[in-house]
Each structure stands twice: as C-alpha cells, then as structure tokens.
C-alpha cells in the first residue's frame, strides 16, 4: 500500500515538473519570437543600476518584499542541495531561519492587507488581490513544510518539494514573475532613455514612400508599428512580463489622475494578456479611445522602479493604428504636421502645447 502511494506521489511530482518545464518553454517562446531589440548606438556602462531608491520609498513593504524574496531563494536553493544528498548543519540553520522569516513576513503582509488596508489595496482588482494572497499562502506553506521536513515528520519532505514546484508553476502565470524577469529587464534596458525611439528613420522613409516622396523601396524596418507579440521588440515584451503592477506609474499618469479610464499599468496588463492569448493588440486588447489617452509625457517611465516603458509600447500600437491602418483621431492631425516638421511620427506633449 505504501509502495502504491509512493508511485502515485512520484507520478504527481513528475507531472508537476513537466508542467513547469512547459511553462518555462512557453514563456521563452513568447519572448524569443518577438522582434530583435535594436542595439544601442552608444556604449553603456556594464554596471547594473538598481531601482532600490524607488523600491524603498515605501520602506515597510520594501523590507517585507525583500525578506520574502530572499527567504524563498535560500529555501529553494537549500531544498535543491538537499535533494542532491548534501547535508550541512549551517545550511540547515540558515534555511530554518529563512523559513521562519518568510512565514512571519507573509503573515504581517496578510494582516496588513486585512486590517490596516493601505490605500493602494482599495484599487486592486479581485484577481490582483487573489494573486497576492495565493503567493503569500504558498510562501507560508513552503516555510512550514521546510521546518516540518527538518524534523523528519513523515510526508513533509514530499509536501515541501511539491509546494516548491507548485510555487514555481504558479509564478509563471502571476505578476510575481517580475521577481525573475525584472532583474534581466533592468540590466538589458540600461543606457536606454524614455524617449529612445526605435525604427523612426525607417517609419519616416515608409511614410515618404506612401506619399510618393522617395523612389527608395528597400526599407528594412518591415512594419511601422506593432500589433502582435511577435512585432514588439524582445525588450518591450520582457518589460511587459516584468511589470510588478505596483501602480507607481498610474499615480503620476496625467490622464489617469484626472479620472480617465486609462493607465500605463493597465496597458501592460492588457498587452500581457494579448501576448499570452496570441491575439492582436488593436482593437482587441485596446481600442482607439484607450490608446489616444496617452500624452507621451514619460512620467510612467520615470516613476517605474524597474524602468519599464509603457509609453513606448503605446507608440508602437499607435503607429500601427494611425499610420498603418489610418485610424488616426481627427484631433491628431497635428501628428502629420509634426512628422513633416521634425521627422517624428507622433505628436509629443510639447508639439501639442
Ligand atoms: S507617457 Fe502616457 S502612459 Fe505614461 S504617464 Fe504619460 S500619459 Fe501616462
Ligand atoms: S510599469 Fe512599473 S511602475 Fe507601472 S505598475 Fe508596472 S512595475 Fe509598477
């Protein structure tokens, strides 16, 4: 009977590991099938600059997040080392302390959300709130099963490994994937400014071609905008997957502040959904009304601790909708004037002023 139970557990564990590998492959395909990110024309420092200053502008949440992330990394590493048959007393103590710290931090987070209710939580959708609770409960279960397994309580070794794999699978669906992707995004994105445009020369040349102003027909930029995950740059796709949905960008976004139904965070959420479902961005994920709200002020990029640039993604979609499809709002006629004057295909905030 015990033998049958072990076989069933091994089978469940194997299925979970296969699901995890499939999810990692799926995410890799989504990002790698995007357009190659244009290289920078200038040299950048190899030094990675962190977003710690912005991160710790909310110190309690910052410290609790750090405890949860560091504890989870150490607990996972410890469990992998243990699975390889390596036992070490110092590792045992460190992992045990991390497990206790993770449980305490997760409980404080849950209590804070239930009783103190910081203003930010009132703006969360039910799905976003549920996502946060699931991650916190998985952290608590991971810590508790690790401690129980250290005391050799029967069955908790298996339960702990299953919780870790479940955690890893869940994170690929969750906004908490940013724990991994944000570091990579920040590193690759270093040296790029909010207004560093891509393919502008090619777009201008295509517009000249459409207007019969040039006889050149070899345009390497391909399309003028992006309407699909494969047409965004890999960096922008990685940015969408790196959004932690912290809401800092929408707190400074002028249209959002004045109550319009638009936000840079919502842009990231909709784009990510469209990429996951393999559907077009425009007009499925966002319509004319949504994309025309952005005034290209760049406040979202400055506010983001990770340096994500929703404004640039919106430029790509606007280029597709306005320039490729010709759905430019009548109020945007200044855009064509702007292109004529400055070779910039979309009107900037300053142009409008
Ligand atoms: S650039 Fe657009 S999305 Fe970003 S803060 Fe300004 S208006 Fe909002
Ligand atoms: S884009 Fe940046 S600031 Fe905005 S919600 Fe995502 S992580 Fe936060």
Per-residue pLDDT at 194: 87
Instruction: Tell me the per-residue pLDDT of 297-324, one tens digit each, with 9 for 90 and over.
Output: 999 999 998 999 999 999 999 999 988 8
Least confident segment among 1-15, 24-38, 149-163, 231-245: 1-15
Centre of ligand 2 from the C-alpha of residue 218, in Å: 38
pLDDT for residue 2 is more than 70: no
Residue 234 in this model has a pLDDT that exceeds 90: yes
Proportion of the chain above pLDDT 70, given as a percent? 88
Cα 346 to averaged position of ligand 1 atoms, centre (Å)? 14
Identify which has the larger pLDDT, 6 or 74: 74
- What's the confidence (pLDDT) of residue 213? 79
Task: Decide which of 165 and 337 is more confident.
Answer: 165
Distance of CA 226 to the CA centre of its chain: 18
How far does residue 131's CA lie from ligand 2's centre (Å)? 16
Residues near ligand 1 (Cβ within 6 A):
252-255, 264, 294-300, 310-311
Instruction: Tell which one of 265, 270, 294 to mutate to probe ligand 2, the residue whose CB is within 8 A of the most ligand atoms.
Output: 265
pLDDT at residue 203 in the model: 81
What's the chain look like in SS3? CHHHHHHHHHHHHHHHHHHHHHHHHHHHHHHHCCECCCCCCCCCCCCCCCCHHHHCCCHHHHHHHHHHHHHHHHHHHHHHHHHCCCCCHHHHHHHHHHHHHHHHHHHHHHHHHHHHCCHHHHHCCHHHHHHHHHHHHHHHHHHHHHHHHHCCCCCHHHHHHHHHHHHHHHHHHCHHHHHHHHHHHHHHHCCCCCCCCCCHHHHHHHHHHHCCCCCCCCCCCCCCCCCCCCCCEHHHHHHHHHCCCCCHHHHHCHHHHCCCCCCHHHHHHHHHHHHHHCCCHHHHHCCHHHHCCCCCCCHHHHHCCCCCCHHHHHHHHHHHHHHHCCCCCHHHHHHHHHHHHHCCCCCCHHHHC
Tell me the ligand closest to 268's alpha carbon: 2
**Residue 306 Cα, ligand 2 centroid: separation in angstroms?**
7
Per-residue confidence (pLDDT) for residue 191, from 0 to 100: 86
In this structure, of 129-138, 188-197, 249-258, 291-300, the range with the lowest mean pLDDT score is 188-197
- In this prediction, residue 193 carries a pLDDT of 85
Distance from the alpha carbon of residue 243 to the mean position of ligand 2, in angstroms? 5
Residues touching ligand 2 (Cβ under 6 Å) are 243-249, 264-265, 268, 303-304, 306, 308, 310
Task: State pTM to two decimals.
Answer: 0.86
pLDDT confidence tier of residue 110, bands split at 50, 70 and 90: very high
Share the mean pLDDT of the chain: 87
Q: In this structure, which residue's CA is closest to atom 3 in ligand 2?
A: 304
Measured from the CA of 249, which atom of ligand 1 is nearest? Answer: 5
Q: What is the pLDDT of residues 138-168, one digit of tens each?
A: 999 999 999 999 988 877 888 999 999 999 9
């Amino acid at each position: 009977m015990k033998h049958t139970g072990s076989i069933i557990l091994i089978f469940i564990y194997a299925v979970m590991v296969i699901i995890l590998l499939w999810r990692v492959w799926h995410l890799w395909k989504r990002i790698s099938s995007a357009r190659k990110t244009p290289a920078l024309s200038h040299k950048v420092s190899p030094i990675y600059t962190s977003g710690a200053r912005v991160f710790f502008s909310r110190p309690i949440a910052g410290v609790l997040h750090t405890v949860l992330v560091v504890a989870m990394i150490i607990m996972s590493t410890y469990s992998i080392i243990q699975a390889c048959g390596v036992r070490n007393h110092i590792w045992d103590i460190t992992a045990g302390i991390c497990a206790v710290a993770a449980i305490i931090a997760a409980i404080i987070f849950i209590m804070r959300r239930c009783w103190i209710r910081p203003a930010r939580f009132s703006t969360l959708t039910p799905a976003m709130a549920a996502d946060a609770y699931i991650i916190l409960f998985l952290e608590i279960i991971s810590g508790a099963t690790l401690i129980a397994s250290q005391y050799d309580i029967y069955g908790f070794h298996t339960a702990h490994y299953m919780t870790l794999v479940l955690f890893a699978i869940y994170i690929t669906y969750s906004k908490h994937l940013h724990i991994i992707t944000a570091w990579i995004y920040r590193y690759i994105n270093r040296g790029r400014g909010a207004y560093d445009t891509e393919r502008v020369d090619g777009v201008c040349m295509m517009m000249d071609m459409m207007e019969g102003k040039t006889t050149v027909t070899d345009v390497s930029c391909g399309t003028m905008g992006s309407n699909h995950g494969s047409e965004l740059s890999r960096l922008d796709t990685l940015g969408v997957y790196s959004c932690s949905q912290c809401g800092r960008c929408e707190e400074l976004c002028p249209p959002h502040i004045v109550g319009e139904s638009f936000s840079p965070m919502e842009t990231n959420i909709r784009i990510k959904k469209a990429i996951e479902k393999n559907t077009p961005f425009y007009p499925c994920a966002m319509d004319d009304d949504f994309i025309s709200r952005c005034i290209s002020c760049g406040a979202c990029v400055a506010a983001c601790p990770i340096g994500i640039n929703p404004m640039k993604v919106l430029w790509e979609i606007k280029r597709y909708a306005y320039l490729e499809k010709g759905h430019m709002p009548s109020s945007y006629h200044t855009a064509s004037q702007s292109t004529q004057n400055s070779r910039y295909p979309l009107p900037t905030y300053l142009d409008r002023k």
